[in-house]
Amino acid sequence: MASKWPSNKLTHIPVLLKETVDYLNIKRDGIYLDGTVGLGGHAAAILSLLSENGTLVGIDLDEEALTRCKESIGAASNCHLISDTFSNIPSILETLNLSQIDGLLLDLGISSLQLDSPKRGFSYRFNGPLHMGFSMTSSITANEIINTWSESELRKIIKKYGEDRMAGSVAKTIVQQRSKSAIDTTTQLRKVISTVVPPRYLNKSLSRIFQALRISVNSELDALTEVLKNFMNYLKPGGRMVTISYHSLEDRIVKQAFRGHAKECICPPKLPICQCDHKATVKILTSHPIIPSEDEINTNSRSRSAKLRAVERL
Ligand SMILES: C[S@@+](CC[C@H](N)C(=O)[O-])C[C@H]1O[C@@H](n2cnc3c(N)ncnc32)[C@H](O)[C@@H]1O
């Protein structure tokens, strides 16, 4: 498969690439929007299937990723790369004078470039500032959360977004520690957490707590919920939406939203006659999520937890 798609000379290996392109069902003259264009791995494959009459819009919050994506795929006149959040898709389309599109892709979460860059503070494996914004101009940082949020707010996000059972004691220790001196770096935070979590659970807990902070800094679940509310309004009939998620919270939100939009009636089951007038707007194409093959997981361990879901606009 690697030889089938254009190489964009970048370190991020796009996840479920063939499956994504297949489910998007690319039309040569179609309009496609990649809402998480990142380093352009999926976008390069989509672009390679478009004619000069086709259009690709790539959106990302990460200015650095967009610069690198531009160098790699952005020269074509039918490719627009825009620094914004995907929850602003309706206004972005309006600015581009595009009313409806043939396909939308959201490959959620974080890229290898972000995760492996110490200065971004996403990983407990490197020392760096507690930033964690997808955009370097993010209005809030992990530092602010760790050093100013209350113990109960910290406990809540670690439990809700990290699903970590040690949330209570971790939050308490963070608050105790920061009253002595500010926690400014990933290494300092790691040290604080290691005083409460037993060594054999430490790496798992660190991953979960760092994930919880990242989700909070970037309001990830709110942005996803927002786009899932209204994507049907700008997908053409027959147009497709494909999502790739990497943790259960995201996947659950996508699954429930797709199911809701695919239902003919959303009345409580007790009502004998439908009173909601709800009409299905999409058809679910993946009754079960598509997951990577063992081969893909062996060549790209980041794909391990990926789940792809797709719908078609009716
Ligand atoms: C998994 S990476 C995408 C990788 C991309 N598919 C590729 O092949 O290179 C996820 C990207 O989504 C971006 N992102 C996350 N939330 C976003 C949002 N609300 N709006 C725009 N971009 C977002 C991140 O900055 C990151 O670059």
CA 256 and chain centroid, separation: 16
Closest by alpha carbon to 220, among 314, 100, 98, 110?
110
Q: Is 109 left (phi over 0), alpha (psi -120 to 50) or beta?
A: left
**pLDDT score recorded for residue 6:** 60
User: Residues enclosing ligand 1, CB less than 6 A?
Assistant: 12, 14, 35-36, 38-42, 59-62, 65, 85-87, 107, 109-111, 134, 218, 223
What secondary structure, in 3-state letters, does 169-219 show? Answer: HHHHHHHHHHHHCCCCEHHHHHHHHHCCCCHHHHHHHHHHHHHHHHHHHCC
* Alpha-carbon gap, residue 31 to 220, rounded angstroms: 25
**pLDDT score recorded for residue 76:** 79
* Alpha-carbon gap, residue 50 to 48, rounded angstroms: 6
Q: E strands along the chain, which residues?
A: 31-34, 55-60, 79-83, 101-107, 235-245, 282-284, 307-313
Output the CA–CA distances (angstroms, integers) from residue 233 to 56, 63, 197, 224, in the order listed: 18, 28, 47, 16
Domains in the chain, CATH or no CATH each: 17-113+221-313 (3.40.50.150), 139-217 (1.10.150.170)
Task: Flag residues of the chain having pLDDT under 50.
Answer: 1-3, 8-9
Å from CA of 237 to ligand 1 middle: 26
Å from CA of 58 to ligand 1 middle: 10
| C-alpha radius of gyration, the chain, whole number | 21
271: amino acid identity, one letter: L
Cβ 33 vs Cβ 307: under 8 Å: no
Å from CA of 30 to ligand 1 middle: 22
* Alpha-carbon gap, residue 231 to 249, rounded angstroms: 20
Å from CA of 61 to ligand 1 middle: 7
Of ligand 1's listed atoms, the one at least distance from the Cα of 59 is 21
| Best of 1, 60, 63, 114 for a ligand 1 pocket test (most atoms within 8 Å of beta carbon) | 60
Task: Tell me the pLDDT tens digit for each residue of 187-237.
Answer: 999 999 999 999 999 999 999 999 999 999 999 999 999 999 999 999 999
| Best of 12, 36, 89, 228 for a ligand 1 pocket test (most atoms within 8 Å of beta carbon) | 36
Of ligand 1's listed atoms, the one at least distance from the Cα of 38 is 27
